[in-house]
Each structure stands twice: as structure tokens, then as C-alpha cells.
Amino acid sequence: MALIELRDVRKIYQLGDVPVNALAGVSLDIEQGEFVSLIGQSGSGKSTLMNTLGCLDRPTSGSYLLDGREVTTLSLDARARLRNDKIGFVFQSFNLLARTSAMENVELPLLYARGVTARQRRARATEVLALVGLADRMDHQPGQLSGGQQQRVAVARALVNRPAILMADEPTGNLDSRTSGEVIQLFQQLNDQQGITLILVTHDPGIAASAKRTITLRDGLVVQDTKFSPLASPDVPSTDSFGRSVSNLPGPERSRPDSSVSADQEPDKK
Ligand code: ADP
Ligand code: MG
């Protein structure tokens, strides 16, 4: 069974007399560990789909199984509990508390978690801040961090509950291209190394291409669903027969070039 199973999901908004079919019958499966980008023009239904997947909003009809549980018939409270348990969110505007340290921002979701002591809270916030590369910025407030660093604090906050799924709606919309690359690289790393399922809404084709699967929406329908085969870069030998590194050589077989941001780049401005 897939982690996410949507069947003929529809969302109709009633605008006066006019019904708006924001989702017009979407069916799709997303497996544990996938990295999916959702693309489509403005108004195509991306945010509505994301809010549905994120258990923030309930469809008008259809079925949504999240980890085997039917979400559409849950009460508001039960849905909120399931959401807190399974899903972390990252937004375009980082939504961090100003004049509050990175540490305290990340600890915040755990204040509501039952049975987590202050000591455990601190330990888990420390762990996820290190995971996003901010071990040396824990005491900084948002205003003392770059945009990319602020978004990484937001990612850490989304991870502190140990969700199975991380959802991000235009997470790089407020970032320049270099910093966007940094955040996308973090997503790839979380997906590859932590096995976190990632669902990313973007209108940027370059960002969408960093995912392993791209789902395209138009008028509330899935019109394209493309999985990239994993044999592109991992199969390329990293050294030639003389033991020399060839990983930087351009080649037709490297159909999915690495992100332009190098792995050891340490964002250290400020
Ligand atoms: P996207 O995120 O791809 O830009 P949305 O999911 O936000 O698209 O919107 C899909 C469609 O639903 C649009 O036509 C939008 O105008 C409409 N819509 C979204 N939210 C509402 C709402 N709360 N009330 C009425 N119509 C809405
Ligand atoms: Mg949107």
C-alpha cells in the first residue's frame, strides 16, 4: 500500500452561483521515500492539492488514504492529530517568530507534543538544526540570518516532530537562485539520506527537475506524471580506468546534472 492514495478527489469551491472545480478528479499514489514536485500554471490547483494532501483541507468528494487511514471522514481534531504526526510544512514566507532564536523557533512544535520533556525538546531541536547545517547558528534570531538560513530553520522546525512527509509550497519563492539551490540541495539530502518523503510545489521548472518525479496539473487535473529513472547519475563512474576523477566531465549520460551548488559550500554570510 502506498503512503498516499488519492482516488477521484474533487474540490469544488462555490463562488456565489459559480462552482469552481479546483480539483476535478485527481487519483494518484505516492510511495514512502519519493521526492515529488507538483507543477502547473497559477490557478491549476497545486495549492488545493497540497492542502488536501497535507490534511489542512477536506475534499468535496473522493478518497484519501494516508498511511492506510481514510482522511476525508476524520473529524477536525483527528485530522489535526494525524497531520501533526505525519506531516511537516515549509512555506514560501518562512513564518519564523521574530526576535526568537533559531533553537526556540524549532522547539515550538514540540511544546504541544505530549510527553516530550524540555530536555528532549532541546535535544531534538539541536539534532535537526545540525541536520540542516545550522549547528553554529542556533542562538541567532531570524533577523540575524540570511534568507536561505531562515528557510533552513523553517525546514528544521518542520522536521522536529519526525514527520514521514515534508510538504513545501513554493519554498524558494522568496530566495535568489543561489540560495534556492542551497535549499533544494538540503531537500535532496533529506530525501536521499533520511528517506523523508518530499512533496514540493513550484512553478520553477529548474526546481521541479531536482525531484525524482514531476506531477503536472492543469484545470484541477493531473495531465502529466513523469518519473525520472535513477540510472542517470549514480551509474556514471566517478573515476576512469586510470583512477582519475571524471565526475566533473560533461557527458550525454549525465542527463541529470548535479545542482550547481557544490556540496561543501558553507553559507556563511552574516
Ligand atoms: P494554484 O496553487 O495552482 O495557483 P489553487 O489551488 O490556489 O491553484 O487554486 C485552484 C483554483 O481554485 C483557482 O481557480 C482558484 O481561483 C480557486 N480557489 C482556490 N481557493 C479558493 C477559495 N477559497 N474559494 C474559491 N476559489 C478558490
Ligand atoms: Mg498556489
Q: What are the structural domains, with CATH classification, of the chain?
A: 4-227 (3.40.50.300)
Closest residue to atom 16 of ligand 1, CA basis: 43
For residue 48 and ligand 1, the question of a CB distance below 6 A is answered with yes
Query: Which long-range contacts (C-beta less than 8 Å, at least 24 apart) are formed by 54-61?
Result: 54/83, 54/87, 54/89, 54/167, 55/79, 55/80, 55/82, 55/83, 55/86, 55/87, 56/83, 57/11, 59/9, 59/10, 59/11, 59/23, 60/10, 60/11, 60/12, 61/8, 61/9, 61/10
**Whole-prediction pTM value?**
0.83
Residue 242 has pLDDT above 60, yes or no: no
Predicted local confidence at residue 231, as pLDDT: 59
Question: Where is pLDDT greater, at 254 or 231?
Answer: 231
Question: Which amino acid is residue 107, in one-letter code?
Answer: E
Range list of H helices, the chain: 46-53, 76-86, 102-107, 118-131, 147-159, 177-194, 205-208
Answer for the pair 6, 63: CB distance below 8 angstroms, yes or no.
yes
Ligand lying nearest the CA atom of residue 11: 1
User: For residue 205, how many C-alpha atoms fall within 13 Å in the half-sphere facing its CB?
Assistant: 1
Beta bridge partners of 35: 198
- The pLDDT tens digits of the residues spanning 27-74 come to 999 999 999 999 999 999 999 999 999 999 999 999 999 999 999 999
Give CA–CA dist 21/15, Å, rounded. Answer: 10
- The pLDDT tens digits of the residues spanning 118-148 come to 999 999 999 999 999 999 999 999 999 999 9
Give CA–CA dist 134/117, Å, rounded. Answer: 23
Please report the beta strands in the chain, taking only residues with DSSP state E, as ranges in sequence order. 4-15, 18-30, 35-39, 61-66, 69-70, 87-90, 165-169, 197-201, 213-218, 221-227
Q: Which residues, in sequence order, are CB contacts of 262 under 8 Å at separation 6+?
A: none
For residue 11 and ligand 1, the question of a CB distance below 6 A is answered with no
Residue 112's pLDDT band, with cuts at 50, 70 and 90, is: confident
From ligand 1's centre to the CA of 212, what distance in Å? 26
CA angle 49, 53, 59 (to 5 degrees): 65
Residue 85 has pLDDT above 60, yes or no: yes
CA dihedral (262, 266, 267, 269) in degrees, to 10, reads: -130
Q: Which of 10, 11, 12, 13 to mutate to test the pocket of ligand 1 (most atoms within 8 A of CB)?
A: 13
For residue 42 and ligand 1, the question of a CB distance below 6 A is answered with yes
- The pLDDT tens digits of the residues spanning 162-195 come to 999 999 999 998 899 889 998 999 999 999 999 9
Which strands sit side by side in the sheet containing 4-15, from one edge to the other?
18-30, 4-15, 61-66, 69-70
Residue 222 has pLDDT above 50, yes or no: yes
Give CA–CA dist 74/58, Å, rounded. Answer: 9
User: For residue 119, how many C-alpha atoms fall within 13 Å in the half-sphere facing its CB?
Assistant: 0
Answer for the pair 59, 237: CB distance below 8 angstroms, yes or no.
no
Residue 229's pLDDT band, with cuts at 50, 70 and 90, is: confident
Residue 258's pLDDT band, with cuts at 50, 70 and 90, is: very low
